[in-house]
A and B are shown apart, each in its own frame.
Chain A
């Protein structure tokens, strides 16, 4: 369960968004400037709201009333920004294992966030052959999958993806979607992602939060009905 109720001021722009979702994959949908990325930043702890609260499965990340404001490194939220931001001075393996670092992962209040097995993530995202490559040598689709794997390896309780399909062209998009579905279905990590493409939402999301000029204009649930044959056929061709 993702519960967000925040007010955030950013220059002349005011975001005032409240939604509560029990979703496997939810999309933040709306035109650019609607405040979608700002919501992801607030959940990840990269921007602080003026007031409100953010909780994942009952774990409070931010609350202006309490007050609670966990720093990003204690939130256990995986974030893949739009430009994926793979660390350019590390190879693929070091990128993947960056968040898989025990000393900084002291779980608060006895909670534990088990990191998944590297081999499992490698095979699910089909990036096993890339582990010793430099990240600067990867294709667009490979970069996306490595960034996804890096976020998963930190054992997140929620995955935030900023326009995971915007940076790639249409044929590549068809090849990345199956991996996102696998993360959704096999890893059981809920996904909240930003999109401005209705077609993309139908392919992945079970809930949609519609945003416009910093306000929520509607929350819909959509059935996940991508045909199984399509999933098998388009998976793992890259």
Chain B
């Protein structure tokens, strides 16, 4: 039965996507919360774009960029790396779709950290990186973790971008969401229902955990 195989593959890809996006997302969230720099609004808009764009369109952009004839894909092919229609494409699609949720949630967390704590830490001799690691990050931690879980949950359910850039190859790129669609399309209703229940279960647990974390009031 490849239900478990599909589930395992999806969870693995979503975990990888979350871990890859975490350092960028947290850095970006902190920058947007604490620094004024030229082009800030542009960065903010670009990061949030996958949230409102049709996922299929995001997938098409990725396909154009990452295919062998694309800007990034052509360059990667020379290094012997193929992305499109492999598990790597699944991870990238999931990462891009999860990024906005991570950045927005973590950013709100950093904004709630009283800037006076960071100021005082600096006057006590802490360099900016130490202030970030010992003050900002620990105090914003529930939101950062909550944002990561939200990004993970979003990645689990990713469909539109994945199907364009990774396809639905059984045993290679088929995720839960894509599997539900394929099974329903081909009349395999029982299989579709199983995958659906697994999806709902995982998504419910992840969202519940994220809400618990974010709702915890910061000190």
Q: Contact between A73 and B122 (Cβ–Cβ < 8 Å)?
A: yes
Knowing A85-B114, A88-B139, A89-B139, say if A98 contacts B122 (CB, 8 Å): no
Q: For the complex, what is the distance from the CA of A10 to the CA of B138, rounded to whole Å?
A: 31
Q: Which of chain A's residues have a CB closer than 8 A to the CB of B117?
A: 85, 87
Q: Which of chain B's residues have a CB closer than 8 A to the CB of A36?
A: none
B135 within 8 A of A: yes
Q: Which of chain B's residues have a CB closer than 8 A to the CB of A128?
A: none
Secondary structure type dominating chain A contacts = loop
Instruction: State which residues 181-196 of A face B: CB under 8 Å.
Output: none
B125 within 8 A of A: yes
Q: For the complex, what is the distance from the CA of A77 to the CA of B119, rounded to whole Å?
A: 12
| A72: nearest chain-B partner, CB-CB | B122
A207 within 8 A of B: no
Count A/B pairs, Cβ under 8 Å: 68
B124 within 8 A of A: yes
**Quick check: which of A16-24, A99-107, A197-205 contacts chain B, the rest being far away?**
A99-107
Q: Contact between A136 and B219 (Cβ–Cβ < 8 Å)?
A: yes
Q: For the complex, what is the distance from the CA of A74 to the CA of B123, rounded to whole Å?
A: 8
Q: For the complex, what is the distance from the CA of A150 to the CA of B120, rounded to whole Å?
A: 10
What is the distance, in angstroms, from A56's C-beta to the closest C-beta of chain B? 13
Q: Contact between A79 and B138 (Cβ–Cβ < 8 Å)?
A: no
What is the distance, in angstroms, from A178's C-beta to the closest C-beta of chain B? 24
Encode contact with A along B104-148: 1 for CB under 8 Å, 0 otherwise: 000000000010110111111111101000110011000000000
Known interface pairs A75-B123, A85-B114; 12 further A-B residue pairs with C-beta atoms within 8 A, sorted by A's residue number: A46-B119, A73-B122, A76-B125, A81-B116, A83-B116, A87-B121, A87-B135, A88-B139, A98-B134, A101-B126, A104-B126, A154-B125
